[in-house]
Structure 1
Amino acid sequence: MYEYDSSLAKGQDPCASGIGGPAYHEVFSRTEASAEPARRLVRHALGVWGLDVLAEPAALVVSELVANAVAHACGETVRVVVARLDGGAVEVSVSDSSRVRPVPRMAGPDDLGGRGLLLVTAFAACWGAQPQPGGKRVWAQVRG
């Protein structure tokens, strides 16, 4: 079903973009339909780790990160990772093939989009983007 990967562990700073515990990851097509299986991956991992209280905020965050990759990135796939951090927190990340970093913007009252990163900011303790070979990784940490 979902791939568990303990080799993704690294980093100690609670708002550094490294991950510090066990992780699950999956590759999805870069389409709007991938938001739902990404949310299921997050809910599954958090259920296994007994962090159900973080499931809905983390699922919302991963939905927004996937939507951002679908709207603004390139390539055919995205990689979603959910990692357990020390202190009962999790990090969700979405990697894509674009090197362009996300920038929050202020959507107008009648705009249909443009609020995703504002939602990420509201539900995540911190978030950021890291360049990586062939693109970038956008990550967010959710805490209880």
Structure 2
Amino acid sequence: MKRYATAHWEGSLKEGNGTLTTQTTTLDKTQYSFKSRFEEGVGTNPEELIAAAHAGCFTMQLSAYIGEEGFAIENIETRCDIDFVDGVIATSHLTVNAKIADITADTFQELVQKAEKNCPVSKVLNATISSTATLL
């Protein structure tokens, strides 16, 4: 399986702007710029997109592990906070809240740690990855 996205940029780094389009057109000429990355401008930025990718990938991986153990998932919500420091994505922190029938707190934490280490986005990130998980 291969996926793609394209970036189009016009102008200098600080004054220019660009658009991002994904293969599925979920992002379709979505605006991004220096201001949306480093200040409070309109549009998205690479770190926000990585956070979304990591939250989504981790949550799917966790749901797979929970399902393999035979537990019923009511819902899982994951927030990913990316820390961009000195031009490097330094950390990715996952905050997980989940409602899962009959699972113990210890089993849940074990599966969270397993998903944190094994989701494909975690494997590609060269950053410190951490998580906090709460059963609701």
TM bucket, shorter chain: 0.3 to 0.5
Q: Which has the higher strand share?
A: 2
TM-score computed with the length of structure 2 as normaliser = 0.39
Q: TM-score, normalised by structure 1?
A: 0.37
